[in-house]
Amino acid sequence: MPEVSISVGGRDFSVVCQDGEQDFLIQAAELLNAEAAMLGEQLGRMPETRMLLMAGLMLADKAVGLEDQLRSLEEKNLSQEAMIEELNTRPAAGGAVPASDEASAQLAEIVAEAENIAEVMDASAG
């Protein structure tokens, strides 16, 4: 197992991790160190354990906020996917279904027949 040297709150640590997780561990340590540095600037010197606890809690708070945002975005995504699916299954605007060439031809025949019937009725009525 690889051993990684990290620095948090001005103190160096050697941490063992799974092979391939070194970069993740270094990034996580950098986040923790940034929070610890911010605490040091705001609150001054404090015991190491308290500083690490506070920095960890601040990161956990950010993680919870991000999880809430992710959940909200996932719900919004599902809602939009459902809306897209509904729109894809609806007929075209005005309730009309796009006609095929065959349907258009049949409709033209019906219109021609209706016009012939109307002419015959007009001729017999007149």
Residue bearing tokens 């610890």? 36
* DSSP line for 89-126: HSPSGGGPPPPPHHHHHHHHHHHHHHHHHHHHHHHHH-
Euclidean distance between CA atoms 15 and 13, whole angstroms: 6
pTM reported for the whole predicted model: 0.56
Average pLDDT over residues 112-121: 84
Model pLDDT for residues 15-63, shown as the tens digit of each residue: 999 999 999 999 999 999 999 998 888 888 888 888 889 999 999 999 9
pLDDT value, residue 41: 86
Give the Cα separation of 84 and 9 in Å (integer): 50
pLDDT tens for each residue of 63-108: 999 999 999 999 999 999 999 988 888 776 666 666 678 888 888 8
**How many whole angstroms separate alpha carbon 58 and alpha carbon 75?**
26
